[in-house]
Amino acid sequence: MNKKGFSLVCATVLGMASTACFGFSVFSPMIEEGETGVELRYARVMAGEALEKGSQNLEAALEWHFSENWRMEFTLENEQPKGMSMETEMVELEFIRGLTEQEGSEGFSSAVVLGYGLAQEDLAADTVSLGMYLMRGYGVAGNGQEKEENESSYASSVLVNAVYERQVGSNSTGETEFSYGIQYKHALDGFSAGLELFGEMNDVAKEHYAGPVLFGELPLGEAGVAYQLGYMVGLSEAAVDGVLKLNLGMEF
Domains (range + CATH), the chain: 3-251 (2.40.160.40)
- Written as one letter, the residue type at 152 is S
Through-space distance between the first and last CA atoms of the chain, rounded to whole angstroms: 40
Alpha-carbon distances of 140 from 32, 53, 159, 168, 200, rounded to whole Å = 20, 41, 17, 44, 33
Q: Is 244 left (phi over 0), alpha (psi -120 to 50) or beta?
A: beta
Q: Of 7-21, 28-42, 98-112, which gets the smallest average pLDDT?
A: 7-21
Q: 182: Cβ–Cβ under 8 A, 6 or more apart, which residues?
A: 26, 158, 159, 160, 161, 196, 197, 198
Tell me the whole-structure pTM to 2 decimals. 0.87
Query: For all residues of the chain together, what is the average pLDDT?
Result: 88
Least confident of 151-155, 158-162, 188-192, 248-252: 151-155
Distance between CA atoms of residues 82 and 173, nearest Å: 27
**Rounded mean pLDDT, 75-96:** 94
